């Protein structure tokens, strides 16, 4: 059974497994699409591969938002984002400055 991620549990579920550092950053993830967000990946733009699925068996329903904490200890602000949805669609965005962004919204 899927579990809807709530803002209260999102930080714990979406944090990379690393201790907190001054370089950690947080942003709001908004699902403004028409399908459940079932997979969410964030990787430093300098990486050639995607980090693991931060949804960890949960999903983010349309119209909901959660806080995402990136606690990877990296000193970069520039990340790539990928989302996969229950309807089979995917969205990717590259070179985002998450230190300045504050919020990222998936739309159709």
pLDDT one-digit tens code per residue, 29-43? 999 999 999 999 999
The answer as to CATH 3.30.2010 being correct for domain 3-107 is: no
Per mean pLDDT, which range of 19-33, 37-51, 52-66, 87-101 is the poorest? 19-33
**81 has a pLDDT exceeding 70:** yes
Task: Read off the tokens for 80.
Answer: 């790539």
Cα distance between the two ends of the chain: 25
DSSP alpha helix (H) spans, the chain:
7-14, 98-101
Confidence of residue 74 (pLDDT cuts 50, 70, 90): confident
Q: Could you identify the residue written with the tokens 């459940």?
A: 36
More confident residue, 85 or 55: 85
- Check residue 70 and give its pLDDT: 85
- Enumerate the domain spans of the chain: 3-107
Per-residue model confidence (pLDDT) at position 22: 45
pTM over 0.85: no
- What's the average model confidence in pLDDT over 9-37? 68
Within 10 angstroms of residue 98's Cβ, the number of other Cβ atoms is: 19
């Amino acid at each position: 059974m899927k579990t809807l991620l709530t803002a209260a549990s999102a930080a714990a579920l979406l944090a990379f497994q690393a201790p907190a550092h001054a370089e950690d950053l947080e942003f709001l993830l908004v699902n403004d699409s028409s399908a459940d967000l079932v997979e969410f990946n964030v990787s430093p733009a300098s990486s050639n591969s995607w980090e693991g699925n931060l949804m960890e068996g949960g999903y983010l329903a349309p119209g909901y938002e959660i806080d995402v904490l990136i606690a990877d200890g990296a000193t970069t602000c520039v990340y790539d984002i990928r989302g996969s949805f229950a309807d089979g669609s995917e969205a990717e965005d590259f070179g985002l400055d998450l230190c300045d962004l504050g919020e990222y919204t998936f739309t159709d």
